Structure 1
């Protein structure tokens, strides 16, 4: 029977969440009890970070396995030196060895466990004796990366648009513009999404909103992708030859894993898909990339408002830019009533009649209930004098917008 009892490992938390990040220091204690005096060859504690991927495809003779490994760091501290000639003699009784380990600086991914891979940060203590099995204990460290590549981008509302001509069994056209109020968010946050649909076709359409998680594993030049639908909201049917604005609140699940982009062999992305369900037709859609980060990082990024004149963060859709500007033009330079002279390249001309733009539809219509808008102070006028609108002075030329949707319905 081993004379070593209750061989254990404890460490001190740095915050309420119990997480660690690059550059943090782990402090703790190795504790055990001895029922008699023993000679110890070595005692050490170490912390390391590793990513592993493995999956199998095919069966029988065609079966093939894929695997990959990445080591991010390993830090070890000897509390009893290894290979001591005589070893260290420890007396009977309770023993406590304190330690301090510093996690290196650098860009390392957060902890993760998935279907075909994991990213693990492990704290381990091990005591070795000659001609005896070593005593060992391990504990997982919840590691949260401070380095999220996407955070270098400005956080702002995102917008996108799509237009679809009906097929041979129907006629007319469907247009949709969508806005989501942020790009960077945290688990538990609620997104405000608004879509304006102009159904000039002979078919009924139904707006749908879907939050999806996409995980990609990479090994030996191959990939294994898994997708998960986290949330789906279905709107009311919009009849033919009608126009409606639809809004909804999409909550990020509280247990969502943070976005993962700084690991070569595992990545996690989130998408918000806004699409129109049309029977017997390809669904037009707009897809927005979302970055889910710890609350401490999300709150450090501006959630709006955004600079006047900005179009907002782009969507990750294969569709054209929005039908409308995000803010009214900023008064600058000479022009009637202080408005700037029109830029001849500001609007593309290609023969498409964009009714939403000509009606002066703007993001203010979308987000007036979601968040306050920041505008530019209006120019001053004589008492009783009313300035003309910019759109009346310089109406936009027609614009062509088209896109294709996915054949997959969810």
Structure 2
């Protein structure tokens, strides 16, 4: 019978939020009780961070497995120095305190998904000669300090789309939409305003959808999933009418942060505003959204769009996101700055994350109603990608892409 009882490791956070980040100190204690004097080879505590993805495709003889692994750091501290001859510990209760620092660096936040995870562990282990080691592991919640550089003043994102009706209906439909934020935290509320001009014989309903896109990568292979976190349905728009529809969309309090700095797992968010039209392709506008810690979003005004929206469609917004690489539906699309009139990304799509597009710049400075300080920096587009140039087509980027999965209404 083992003389080691109640082996345990405890730790505490110094920020009061139960999380750790790059450069933080992890203090804790390894405790146990010995029922008799015991000789041990070593006692150590170790912390590590790593990411892993794995999935299979096909079945039987055609089944193929895909996996990838990344290590971010490993820190090890001996509480009883390793000694081949052993160190005798007396009978009774023992407490060994430790204190180590998580390395600095660009490391992703903790994450768990269907085909992968990013885990940060704290492990304590006691080794004895001719015995299995006694150990214990506990996860620590890691929140990355690293986020993309985002302008501290965020104008509303605006976009528009125009659709000619098909053979089953006459006329056309025009929709413009504005989202008041492009950065937010879990629990925040974003305001959406859509103006719909229905010059057709069809009835339709505006819908608003917050989507989470998760992509797992192993080498050149990807596995993607699209999850709807929140969906709101507006009132019916009658034929030959014009309406302004608005909604308040709350970010779920348990939403994970945008994950961009892991090369084998990524998580992105999009707000999709679209019109549900029976027997027709739904016109839609897609806005990128970053979800991050409150320290990243506290500088933003959390208020309704107000009178600024009266001219929002004509005002540019500073968008620090490249146009998403989505396939374009067979209807004409015109987009305003900061929004993309492309369909929602589908799980079967592939995307080259090693060749990101340069950021776009706003075509002109925003109106004084949106920004009151004249000292704000104006982003400048890189010379190799001028704003007037057309972005690459989806087929030119992914000629071998598989068939698309239609999004549900």
Partner residue in 2 for 1:44: 44
Asked whether 1:311 is paired with 2:310, we answer no
Partner residue in 2 for 1:262: 261
Q: How far apart, CA to CA, are the structure 1 residues paired with 2:373 and 2:19?
A: 43
Contact kept in structure 2, 1:183 and 1:313, CA below 8 Å: no
Q: How many Å apart are 1:169 and its aligned residue? A: 2.1
> Residue 297 of structure 1 aligns to a residue in which SS?
helix
Aligned CA-pair RMSD: 2.8
Partner residue in 1 for 2:77: 77
Partner residue in 2 for 1:289: 288
Contact kept in structure 2, 1:159 and 1:313, CA below 8 Å: no
> Residue 132 of structure 2 aligns to a residue in which SS?
coil
**5+ long unaligned stretches in structure 2:** 338-362, 375-404
Q: How many Å apart are 1:220 and its aligned residue? A: 2.7
Partner residue in 2 for 1:208: 207
Asked whether 1:237 is paired with 2:239, we answer no
> Residue 259 of structure 2 aligns to a residue in which SS?
coil
Deviations 1:249-269, CA, capped at 9 Å, x for gaps? 101111111110100110111
Q: How many Å apart are 1:278 and its aligned residue? A: 1.2
Q: How many Å apart are 1:312 and its aligned residue? A: 1.1
Partner residue in 2 for 1:93: 92
Q: How many Å apart are 1:203 and its aligned residue? A: 1.6
Partner residue in 1 for 2:31: 31
Q: How many Å apart are 1:12 and its aligned residue? A: 1.4
Which residue, 334, 337, 342 being the options, matches 1:320?
A: 334
TM-score by length of 2: 0.77
TM-score by length of 1: 0.77
Asked whether 1:17 is paired with 2:33, we answer no
Q: How many Å apart are 1:294 and its aligned residue? A: 1.6
Q: How many Å apart are 1:17 and its aligned residue? A: 2.2
Q: How many Å apart are 1:313 and its aligned residue? A: 3.7
Contact kept in structure 2, 1:283 and 1:407, CA below 8 Å: no
Partner residue in 2 for 1:114: 113
Q: How far apart, CA to CA, are the structure 2 residues paired with 1:29 and 1:142?
A: 18
Q: Which one is further off, 220-229 or 109-118?
A: 220-229
Q: How far apart, CA to CA, are the structure 2 residues paired with 1:18 and 1:146?
A: 15
Q: How many Å apart are 1:152 and its aligned residue? A: 6.1
Q: How many Å apart are 1:321 and its aligned residue? A: 3.4
Partner residue in 2 for 1:342: none
The correspondence of residues 11-410 of structure 1 with structure 2, limited to 5 A, is 11-82=11-82, 84-149=83-148, 151=150, 155-300=154-299, 311-314=316-319, 319-322=333-336, 408-410=407-409
Tell me the number of residue pairs that the alignment of Structure 1 and Structure 2 aligns. 338
Contact kept in structure 1, 2:155 and 2:370, CA below 8 Å: no
Contact kept in structure 1, 2:151 and 2:318, CA below 8 Å: no
Contact kept in structure 2, 1:150 and 1:291, CA below 8 Å: no
Q: How many Å apart are 1:301 and its aligned residue? A: 5.0
Deviations 1:207-252, CA, capped at 9 Å, x for gaps? 1111111111111311111111111111111112111100001011
Larger Rg: 1
Contact kept in structure 2, 1:156 and 1:303, CA below 8 Å: no
